[in-house]
Structure 1
């Protein structure tokens, strides 16, 4: 069965992994986030319990 022969597929996987890790990923990480996190403190809303009419 040719699927069990790891020779060509392992090489393809390594080349793909190295390409992503050393070429594509650094280029993607250089982009500035369009929505940076703000320094505001989160506000908490007060909630009241639901009053069920049948209880």
Structure 2
């Protein structure tokens, strides 16, 4: 029965996992975002209560 022979698919499985575990993380970590986020000022904004005309 050919499906019990692990030689063809085991090699493909091992090499594909090696690609995922070795090469892909470096490519993902090397990705840079075009718009770096900027830190906002830390002081809190003052909110005013709404003036409801029907209340």
TM-score normalised to the size of structure 1? 0.48
**TM, length-normalised to structure 2:** 0.48
Structure of larger gyration radius: 2
